[in-house]
Amino acid sequence: MAHQTINNYIDLIQNISASFEDENSKDVCFTFRDSSIKLKAHKFLLETASPVFKTMLSGNFREKFEVKIDDIRPHIFELLLSGIYLKEINFKNNDVKVAADLYNAAEKYDIQNIRDICVRFMLKKCLSPYINFIYNFARVFDLELLQDTCENKFRDKTYAVCSEFLKTKSLKDDILVEFLGLEDLFIKSEFDLYMTVEILVETKRLSSYSKSLSQIRFLSMDMQKVLSCDLLSFEEKCRVLSNIDGKRNYVEPIMQMPEHLSKETEPRCFPNHDYDEDDSRYCFWITILLICNDFDKHLSRFFHFIEPGFCNQDSIKSFLTNQRQNLANGYLTKVTVSNILSEVINIHNQSILNENPNKRLKK
């Protein structure tokens, strides 16, 4: 009996989906602003799927067969109709922006199952280049599950997400600050988070940054790194260093910490993690070196703070310079960065192969 009931439901769904192609029996036509496209549908299905459609089509539109849509693009509305007819919704090219537009349309017409489809799709894309877009979308519509998933991705894949931030066209301070305020991040050094902010500012991807900078825990850095933080003024550096020194010597600092900077002193990196076995930090820094404006400055930081053990630094610099030129007009993919990192490590390994095999780096 249960098996027969399931089969009946399947047949019903198939029949409803098939009716999507039956243009002759459709009794409502939708037109769109600045478009000649017309989409037809069955009034009874629209009213069943959406209380908004039910009100719309049983009111002033009772005798009208044509409804004008001004605020939804035709291809988005067609996806909406596909969902109403229980057809599978496919987002071409994994386009999260289309999913967001469809969610917005489903929100307007109060169609929960289509909203759920859009959210499930975006949940799978939280580590994509659109994570900042998805996170902002989740905040606007108060989608806690989607927002929490983005935040957890940042915790678990901090370097990978920061690398995506660096490649985005623009990022809002209000979005970045939410990520930088999280605890228990997958980072080796707070300085890496700071570098995310500095490179975004340097490459004009982040126009304002005061909120994001306020979440950086400068007091958990060593003094050399603080001195290299160019987004801090001379006075701010002096105040931070005074507080670091006071903490080390268990005395009151000579200068108070700036009110707009974090007073947190504890690092928030994962405990007991072997970062040398994970290449995401290297990939993050390779991304910095490929997109930054001041290449020499950041390469010096890389050799000084991140991998002072790299041999043949001149050859590595020459190789990265060529890669920057090759990528000037191309999109920087994760695979490209990984391949470039492999070659950098190969240059290092080749230079020391006959000197000290124990210094070879693994990729």
CATH classification at residue 44 = 3.30.710.10
**CA distances to 80, 83, 311 from 112, in Å:** 11, 10, 58
| 12-51: burial string, b at 16+ Cβ within 10 Å, e else | eeeebeeebeeeeebebebebeeeeeebbbbbebbbebbe
17, pLDDT greater than 60: no
Instruction: Name the band, by pLDDT with cuts 50, 70 and 90, for residue 1.
Output: very low
Q: What is the pLDDT of residue 13?
A: 45
Among residues 236, 253, 270, the one where a domain terminates is 270
Q: Is residue 92 part of a domain?
A: yes
110 and 10 within one domain: yes
Region 221-242: what's the mean pLDDT?
96
Q: What is the pLDDT of residue 57?
A: 83
Q: Is residue 145 part of a domain?
A: no
Instruction: Name the band, by pLDDT with cuts 50, 70 and 90, for residue 15.
Output: very low
Domain count, the chain: 3
360 and 281 within one domain: yes
323 and 260 within one domain: no
78 and 8 within one domain: yes
CB 238 within 8 A of CB 229: no
CB 185 within 8 A of CB 267: no
Region 75-89: what's the mean pLDDT?
91
Among residues 108, 125, 142, the one where a domain terminates is 125
Please tell me whether residue 30 adopts helix, strand or coil conformation.
Answer: strand
Q: Is residue 286 part of a domain?
A: yes
Please tell me whether residue 67 adopts helix, strand or coil conformation.
Answer: strand
Mean residue pLDDT across the chain? 86
Q: What is the pLDDT of residue 270?
A: 66
64, pLDDT greater than 60: no
Q: What is the pLDDT of residue 11?
A: 41
pTM: 0.84
Integer-rounded Cα radius of gyration of the chain: 27
Region 167-181: what's the mean pLDDT?
94
Region 48-66: what's the mean pLDDT?
76
Name which of 24-28, 96-100, 148-152 the model is least confident about: 24-28
Q: What is the pLDDT of residue 359?
A: 54
CB 79 within 8 A of CB 98: yes
Q: What is the pLDDT of residue 334?
A: 77
347, pLDDT greater than 90: no
Angle at 189 between CA 199 and CA 281, to 5 degrees: 65
DSSP 8-state code for residue 87: P
339 and 290 within one domain: yes
Instruction: Name the phi and psi angles at 30, rounded to 5.
Output: -105, 130
Q: Which two tokens stand for residue 86?
A: 């229980």
Q: What is the pLDDT of residue 70?
A: 92
Q: Is residue 51 part of a domain?
A: yes
312 and 223 within one domain: no
Provide CB contacts within 8 A for 63, sequence distance 6+: none
Region 287-302: what's the mean pLDDT?
95
115 or 271: which carries more pLDDT confidence? 115
Q: What is the pLDDT of residue 12?
A: 40
β strands within the chain, DSSP E: 28-32, 38-41, 66-69
319, pLDDT greater than 90: yes
Q: Is residue 62 part of a domain?
A: yes
Domain residue limits at 330: 274-363
Q: Is residue 142 part of a domain?
A: no
174 and 119 within one domain: no
Q: What is the pLDDT of residue 108?
A: 96
Please tell me whether residue 8 adopts helix, strand or coil conformation.
Answer: helix
330 and 278 within one domain: yes
Whole-angstrom distance, CA of residue 185 vs CA of residue 217: 12
